[in-house]
């Protein structure tokens, strides 16, 4: 990848090596064992050079421009020049030109679908996250993502959530311990489960899923300072907030929708976690338009 692309990825908080692996894997999937775009190879002279515009086909929030640039870099072996005209997190309108790409036409078209697949997916997640952020405006609550991500794309999808104004909960099973129903059953309850995690991994943050006021109180008294309030009504959630006070951060989770977001936030919880941010966001339609030759 070019130095400018690597720098843009790092500025976004994305690991260039991970992005390169994702982008190269997606290109390899498209090109097959022969590493060949048969249509472009047959119809376009090897020496032909063109410019194309990356254009929004719908209103939304863009995310992943540097990731798309990485795809163009890899497909064109650094011969494609990418100029971005928007920034991740920008609200864009149908018809807006987000970037231009100039270079060998074969390479440009070979990279087109892979670059757009990632860019459209990330922008769709960012657009959805922005809708949740706006729904929570005026409250103290922040929308969080979950681990319900597309396999292999977690880094990109969680970045897109941030670009849309949301926040990341945990990256995986390694950075935060989350005691859920099955852990409680296997360990014999909330208190023994919490104490076992804390003893085994004293430096790892511990979160506990609770389903009642009694469980919330037990978890806090065991030492937990972050509770997942699972599938609670706003009324029950308000009772948990009153019982726990400021002894723990509270997250509402399970079955939340944009229509009910403000009602849940009004209970006083700190977070609303929404798996749909990454498992059900529609893409933002973005296209690559080759400029007419003159």
CA 184 to CA 194: how far, in whole Å? Answer: 9
Instruction: Decide if 244 contacts 217 (C-beta within 8 A).
Output: yes
Q: Give the residue from 126, 121, 125 showing the smallest Cα distance to 90.
A: 126
Q: How many CB atoms lie within 10 A of CB 211?
A: 17
The token pair at 129 is 């996250």
For residues 88 and 37, state if they share a domain: yes
Is 157 marked active-site?
Answer: no
Residue 73 a catalytic site member: no
Set 57, 87, 113, 247: catalytic member: 113
Confidence of residue 34 (pLDDT cuts 50, 70, 90): confident
Pairing of strands 226-230, 249-253: parallel
Do 112 and 170 have their domain in common? no
Active-site residue identified among 180, 181, 221, 291: 180
The verdict on whether 270 is a catalytic residue reads no
- Contact, 132 vs 280, CB < 8 A? no
- CA–CA distance from 158 to each of 76, 112, 292 (Å)? 27, 23, 37
- The predicted model scores a pTM of 0.94
* Residue 76 pLDDT greater than 90, yes or no: no
In angstroms, the CA 66 to CA 83 distance is 10
Q: Is residue 7 part of a domain?
A: yes
Reply yes or no on whether 30 is catalytic. no
Active site residue 20: no
Same domain? For 286 and 270 the reply is no
- Per-residue pLDDT tens digits for 181-215: 999 999 999 999 999 999 999 999 999 999 999 99
Res. 294: pLDDT tops 80: no
Does the pLDDT value for residue 4 go beyond 90?
yes
Mean pLDDT of the chain: 96
Residue tagged active-site, from 73, 88, 209, 251: 209
Do 154 and 112 belong together in one domain? no
138 and 260 co-located in one domain: yes
Q: Is residue 129 part of a domain?
A: no
Number of domains in the chain: 2
The answer to whether position 207 is within a domain reads: yes
Q: What pLDDT, on a 0 to 100 scale, did the predictor assign at position 293?
A: 77
| List 112, 215, 230, 270, catalytic entry | 230
Domain that includes residue 88, residue range: 3-124+282-290
Residue 291 has pLDDT above 90, yes or no: yes
CATH of the domain at 269: 3.20.20.70
List of residues 6+ apart from 21 with CB closer than 8 A: none
Question: What pLDDT does residue 51 have?
Answer: 97
Residue 164 in contact with residue 61, Cβ under 8 Å?
yes
């Amino acid at each position: 990848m070019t130095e400018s692309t690597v720098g843009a990825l790092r500025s976004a908080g994305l690991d260039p090596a991970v992005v390169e692996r994702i982008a190269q894997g997606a290109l390899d999937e498209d090109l097959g064992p022969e590493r060949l775009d048969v249509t472009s190879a047959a119809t376009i002279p090897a020496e032909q050079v063109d410019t194309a515009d990356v254009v929004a086909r719908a209103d939304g929030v863009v995310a992943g421009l540097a990731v798309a640039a990485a795809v163009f870099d890899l497909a064109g072996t650094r011969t494609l020049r990418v100029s971005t005209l928007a920034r991740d997190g920008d609200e864009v309108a149908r018809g807006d030109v987000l970037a231009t790409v100039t270079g060998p036409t074969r390479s440009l078209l070979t990279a087109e679908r892979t670059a757009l697949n990632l860019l459209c997916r990330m922008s769709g997640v960012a657009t959805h996250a922005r809708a949740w952020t706006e729904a929570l405006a005026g409250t103290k609550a922040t929308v969080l993502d979950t681990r319900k991500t597309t396999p292999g794309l977690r880094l990109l999808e969680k970045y897109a959530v941030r670009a849309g104004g949301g926040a990341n909960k945990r990256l995986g099973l390694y950075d935060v311990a989350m005691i859920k129903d099955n852990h409680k059953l296997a360990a014999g309850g909330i208190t023994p489960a919490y104490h076992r995690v804390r003893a085994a991994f004293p430096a790892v943050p511990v979160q506990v899923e609770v389903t009642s006021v009694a469980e919330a109180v037990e978890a806090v008294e065991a030492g937990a300072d972050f509770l997942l309030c699972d599938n609670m009504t706003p009324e029950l959630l308000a009772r948990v907030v009153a019982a726990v006070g400021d002894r723990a951060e509270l997250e509402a989770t399970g079955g939340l929708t944009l229509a009910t977001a403000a009602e849940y936030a009004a209970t006083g919880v700190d977070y609303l976690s929404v798996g749909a941010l990454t498992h059900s966001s529609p893409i933002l339609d973005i296209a690559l338009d080759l400029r007419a030759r003159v």
